[in-house]
Amino acid sequence: MFIQPYQLEELRFAWCYRVYYRWQTHRARPQPALRGLDQKTLDSMLQPYDIHILEACSSETDVKVLISLLPSETVAACAGKMKGRVSKWLGERRDLRQPSNQKRLSRGYFACTTGKSTAEAVNRYLDQQSEHHGYAARVRPPMFVRQYPITVEDEQRLSANRAMSVLQYHVVLSTWKRKGVFARAAAESMANAWRRIQGRYQMAIEKVSFVPDHVHVAVRAHPSQSPAEIAVALMNSSQDLMWSSFSDSVIRAGVERLWQASAYIGTYGNLESAKISAYVRRWKQGEGL
């Protein structure tokens, strides 16, 4: 039986995708014009890319930015677009005594995801799905929760040249018309299948939390991988698994495809986005780093 795979273009997303960046000028050489780069200026540069600047501040050598992205955007591509536009902007304001071909910005950057919740809060929320959905009182609740420690191999897979990043996503997928499909055996097999494709999609599954009609996934990713692409990969690999190994479950549930053509994508980190916003504002006001 042929089951239509999911395509990125057909999916609808609810999302909150926020990233904090910090980067410097080339070899930390002062660029006096960089002081004039504020939130409004940078936001206007990046509007054509649907990249929204929530907070921004700069000195002659450093830039700190809090950004909101579309789910299909990658952290690496955003950094390239942002630094490319800023470099051009600086070139238009350069001292005429400076050579026009001089490198202005460093090639590297630091990036981390942030959101309304911290990593600790997301981890706790995934643990509480049984209570949240009323399954905790059952003798054998239809749940599967598993945490996977990040290994040295994972860290190597997630690392990028000339960038330091910690990118954490919370992905939620719901079954077709919220039909109950997953028993524990299927959920565990699905989590294992996702871990087998981690290398191909430059990601690392940190935690899964299944109930019969949806799943929460905490996942880390390489900066060249978008969360939307990760969601599509999770949907297609799990759909293939269910029809090949657990076809009785999907037939009994009466689903046409395994998942709704939609997903929630949220970002999180060790600090909430409100705290990072406050940090950027304090730095801009000269109140300390």
Does 103 score more than 90 pLDDT?
Answer: no
In the chain, which residues fall in CATH 3.30.70.1290?
Answer: 16-113+273-284, 117-268
Does 138 score more than 90 pLDDT?
Answer: no
Residue 167 is predicted with a pLDDT of: 97
Q: By mean pLDDT, which of 131-145, 176-190, 227-241, 255-269 is the weakest?
A: 131-145
Does 173 score more than 50 pLDDT?
Answer: yes
Q: What percent of the chain has pLDDT over 70?
A: 88
21 Cβ contact partners less than 8 Å away, ≥ 6 residues apart: 63, 64, 65, 67, 78, 79, 82, 109, 110, 111
Q: How confident is the model at residue 132 (pLDDT cuts 50, 70, 90)?
A: low
256 Cβ contact partners less than 8 Å away, ≥ 6 residues apart: 176
Mean pLDDT within 22-38:
93
Please, are residues 250 and 179 in contact by the beta-carbon 8 Å criterion?
no
Q: What is the pLDDT of residues 47-65, one digit of tens each?
A: 999 999 999 999 999 999 9
Mean pLDDT within 180-207:
96
Q: How confident is the model at residue 139 (pLDDT cuts 50, 70, 90)?
A: very low
In terms of pTM, does the model score above 0.95? no
Does 136 score more than 80 pLDDT?
Answer: no
Show the tokens assigned to 96. Answer: 């005429």
- Residue 4, number of CB atoms within 10 A of its CB: 11
What's domain 16-113+273-284's architecture? Answer: 2-Layer Sandwich (3.30)
Please, are residues 234 and 194 in contact by the beta-carbon 8 Å criterion?
yes
Provide the angle, in degrees to the nearest 10, between the axes of the packed helices 184-196 and 227-245: 130
More confident residue, 85 or 93: 85
Q: What is the pLDDT of residues 249-278, one digit of tens each?
A: 999 999 999 999 999 999 999 877 777 777
The whole-angstrom separation of Cα 193 and Cα 21 is 33
Q: What is the pLDDT of residues 199-252, one digit of tens each?
A: 999 999 999 999 999 999 999 999 999 999 999 999 999 999 999 999 999 999
Residue 209 is predicted with a pLDDT of: 95
Instruction: Please give the CATH superfamily to which domain 117-268 belongs.
Output: Transposase IS200-like (3.30.70.1290)
Q: By mean pLDDT, which of 127-131, 136-140, 150-154, 231-235 is the weakest?
A: 136-140
**Mean predicted lDDT score pLDDT of the chain:** 90
